[in-house]
Amino acid sequence: MEHIPLSAGMAISVIDAGPDGVTIEAPLAPNVNHRGTAFGGSVAALAILAGWTLVHLRLRAEGLIAHTVIQSSSVRYDAPIHGGFRAMTEPLQPAAWEKFVRTVTRRGKGRVHVSVQVLAEGCVAATFTGAYVAIAES
């Protein structure tokens, strides 16, 4: 989280972070909107950060040092969030990850898609899909 200063302002906590999955959470108070529910931008930012962290950690586990950025994303908001919320990455498809690593290694740049569920009060409140691009360091 130290790589993304916004995470401090959102009061994000790491629940679990490793190459097999990332779970992070945020309280409502610093992420509230004018209706007393979670601000959509905060929900999206938490999901983007969870996906970014997963790609970053998996690349490191592969021994690859790369700059990772979000290229595009989509969020579907299914329910208002009235309290703290948690983003959990979904497992990456092994074939997609292998192709991504191969492309980054051979061409110096690759793209992988990551899906994240945002949970609140035990239910899926939002779903996220993002394309992340990694550019190998020279």
Strand partners, 113: 131
Domains of the chain: 6-136 (3.10.129.10)
The predicted structure's pLDDT at residue 14: 96
Banded model confidence at residue 1, pLDDT cuts 50, 70, 90: low
pTM of the model: 0.95
**Whose CA is closest to 60, among 114, 112, 134?**
134
Tens of pLDDT, residue by residue over 6-64, are: 899 999 999 999 999 999 999 999 999 999 999 999 999 999 999 999 999 999 999 99
CB 57 within 8 A of CB 102: no
